[in-house]
Structure formats: C-alpha cells, structure tokens
Amino acid sequence: MQNRETIETIINNMVMAPEEGRYVYCIADSAESVHLGKIGIEGNEVYTVPYNNICALVHKCNAEPYKSDDAEIVKSWVVSHDRVIETAWEKWGNVLPINFDTIIREVSSNSAEQNLITWLAGEYEGLRNVLQRVKNKVEFGIQISWDPRGVAQQIMRTNQEIQKMESEIAGKSKGLAYMHRQKIEGLLKQQMETGADGYFREFFGRIKQLVDEIKIEKTKKAENGLQMILNVACLVERDKSQDLGQALDSINNLENFSVRFIGPWPPYSFVSRG
Amino acid sequence: MEPTRNGHATLVDLLDRVLDKGIIIYADLIVSLAGIPLIGVNLRAAIAGMETMLKYGMMTEWDDRVRTWERQRIEARKLLTKPDPEIEEQTAGILPRTGK
C-alpha cells in the first residue's frame, strides 16, 4: 500500500540521511541576510545567518568534522576558511574570526541553524563587546630574531669578565685550560640568556606603547640560523601603524637583529574569551 | 618598515591563526570537541612545506631545542628580573603543555 511505502521511506530517510550541520566561519557586524556565493570550503555556498544586528557566516555541511591526511587538501580548506573571513571583513569592515572546523549540529529536535541562532542569542552581548573592541583595528605579527653567533662574538669581545678569563688561559695546562673554557662557555651562555631577556623587555616595551593590544606568542624556529627572541601579535587601529613600522625599522637596523612584520590580518588573536 | 603578507613563511602564519586562534566554541552543539586537534602536528608541518625536516627527523630535535630554549628563558626571566605581572600572566600559557 502506498501509505506503508511512504512511512518506510520517511523512516529510511530519517535513519540513513547524514545529520545536517552548519560550518561557521566568523561573526560579522551586519544584519544583512545574503549569499556570498560558492567561496567556502570545497566550493560550498556561503551565506549569513543574522541575529539582531550581527550575523554568522556559514555553509551547510554534514555534521562531522572536515578531516584528511592529505596536506594539500587541508591546506586548501585552511586557505578557504581565511578567504571567507577576509571577504566578510572587506564587505562589512568588522568581523570576529572563528576557529577552524567549527560545525554546529542538530540537537534533539532543533536544527543546526536553530542551534546557531540560539547560540548567537546567548552570546550576543559578549560578541557585541568584542566587535566593539576590535572595530577599525587590524592584527599584526611581529617576530624579532637575533644572530646568536654575532651576539656571542660581541659578548666575547666586550664582556670584561670573559676577557679576563680568556687572558688567564694562556700558560695553563691542557686540563685546566679545558675547565677554564667550560667556565667561559657557561658565562657566555648566561650572558646570552640575560641579553635575550633584556632585549625582549626592551622591544616589548617599545612595541606595547605603539599598539592598542599586545599578546605574547611562543617563539618558533627562525630561519638562517637565527634565533627568535620575541613573537607577539598586536592590534592596531587601521592605517595607524606608521610609528610602529618606524620603531621596527630601528630595531631591524641594529647589528645582529632581524624583524619580521606581518599582516594586516583580521583580529584572529584577539577574539577568544579566557 | 611595511607589514607584509608575502613570503613562504606566511602559510605558517595563516595556519597558526586559522587552526589555533579565533573564537573557540565550547558547547554540546559543536560537532568536534575543543582541545582535540583535528590537524595533527605532522600534518601541519607537511602543509607548511617542512616534509624534508620531518623525513630526516629534524623536527623532533628542533622541537626539543625550542622547548629547552623557552624553558630556560622563562626561568632566567624569573631569576634575573623584577616580576612583571603582565608578562607573567601572558607567558603562563606558553610553557609546553604536558599530558595532552
């Protein structure tokens, strides 16, 4: 009978169909309800889900994370994720990026989109506050590295205690000379530690005065045998970064130092709570 | 000095931001659990074009050296300088995490 078939089809569809989700890219300072085209991950259609005077940028997907072992595929996802955020940034001027692979699912009888709206409603005040805080501001990354060899040489040349110990080595027996060398090495290491700290504080202090917000990041491997001694993200008012650029120039011009100044980015590093 | 977004290292900067930053939603309505990385360390390195380093096992060595360097710097900072509450607070999160 037709009825039984229909019921079976409905049940089958319910059981077999993958759960629907919404991949969320960012929150934008806009109440517009629009489609932005197929600019999302895997060419998915991106559109806005408004709530009050903000909206979320989403695409429809299955309620499961994007996962792959293929570096090229994941890279394309990451690039797409950022591209959607930058598109919204360009269009509406103020966005809050959301972490990669954030997918809202159905829960009991509520659809993913309903859940998203509920979440927006619950978080509305907090989101509005952050939007206000980052309004008209852009993120920059600053990485300062030094050439450890050059710095070590400079210390060896100028540090009085080391100079004294170097002169004392002459005339010592092989064994004692070796121990002396070890001592000098220890002293050199200690001087470099102190130096790195001092420079960190000095540079951090200078940068902090020229930006609205600053966050310390982990240092990473620098290139060409350099050693990174400072890694920060900072938030600066749009088009007001000249003073910062100048300060970084003077640091970059110091012997043995190298500055990497990157951006502008949407405020990725300044939107998470806690 | 002008800020730039060019250069091969920029992909690393992008990965750092997209994968680690942005609003992280902690709620039942999210599909993946926060804190469980969907993109592992090795895959990240591969994306950033560091396959060669991985192949020759240099990745682990570098990782160790960076952690040691960081640890030493943080300890040295505490010993040698007056405590700066802002820096203490901000560096609290960058020590290598254990048991993840």
What is the DSSP code string of A134-198? Answer: HTTEEEEEEEEEE-HHHHHHHHHHH-HHHHHHHHHHTT--HHHHHHHHHHHHHHHHHHHHHHHHH
Cross-chain residue pair B29–A115, CB shorter than 8 Å: yes
**Pick from A222, A215, A229: which is nearest to A141 by CA?**
A215
Q: What is the largest CA-CA distance in chain B?
A: 47
> Model pTM?
0.80
Confidence of residue A264 (pLDDT cuts 50, 70, 90): very high
**pLDDT at residue B54, rounded to an integer:** 42
Per-residue pLDDT reduced to its tens digit, B70-91: 566 556 555 555 555 655 555 5
A213 or A167: whose pLDDT is higher? A213
**pLDDT at residue B95, rounded to an integer:** 45
- For helices A174-209 and B58-80, the axis angle rounded to 10 degrees is 80
Please, are residues A233 and A270 in contact by the beta-carbon 8 Å criterion?
yes
User: Mutating which of A99, A120, A240 best tests the B interface, going by the most B Cβ atoms within 10 A?
Assistant: A99
**pLDDT at residue A251, rounded to an integer:** 98
Distance from C-alpha of A9 to C-alpha of A16, rounded to nearest angstrom: 10
Cross-chain residue pair A99–B10, CB shorter than 8 Å: no
CA distance B99 to chain A (A): 19
* Residue pairs between chains A and B whose CB atoms are closer than 8 Å: 157
Rg (CA), chain A: 28
Distance from C-alpha of B32 to C-alpha of B27, rounded to nearest angstrom: 10
Per-residue pLDDT reduced to its tens digit, A187-246: 999 999 999 999 999 999 999 999 999 999 999 887 789 999 999 999 999 999 999 999
Confidence of residue B42 (pLDDT cuts 50, 70, 90): confident
